[in-house]
Amino acid sequence: MRKYAIIVAGGEGKRMNHPVPKQFHVLAGKPVLYYSIDAFLRSYSDMQVILVLPESKVSAGQEIIDA
């Protein structure tokens, strides 16, 4: 059976009134989004993660995945 995690990280941080969306804020040296991705990938060796981001943040999301 295939396992998928869909992480919807499409916020833009408008309510925080900050130019950096919450999912990209650094916590303990890594973006908050990293911890969500990492938790799913460590849960199962065959986990597939689908990351949903605004188009303008795709490259930033790719950097987190590649790290």
pTM: 0.83
CA–CA separation, 12 and 24 (whole Å): 10
pLDDT, tens digit, 9 for 90 and up, residues 10-54: 887 788 888 888 999 999 999 999 999 999 999 999 999 999 999
pLDDT, tens digit, 9 for 90 and up, residues 46-61: 999 999 999 999 999 9
What confidence score (pLDDT) does residue 4 get? 97
In the chain the first and final C-alpha atoms are separated, in Å, by 28
Dig out the tokens for 6 from the structure. 């869909």
Taking the domains of the chain in order of start, what are their residue ranges?
Answer: 3-66
DSSP 9: -
β-pairing, 26-27 vs 30-31, is antiparallel
What confidence score (pLDDT) does residue 13 get? 75
What confidence score (pLDDT) does residue 11 get? 84
Dig out the tokens for 34 from the structure. 């990293």
What confidence score (pLDDT) does residue 19 get? 86
Cα dist from 43 to 5, 36, 46, whole Å: 10, 11, 9
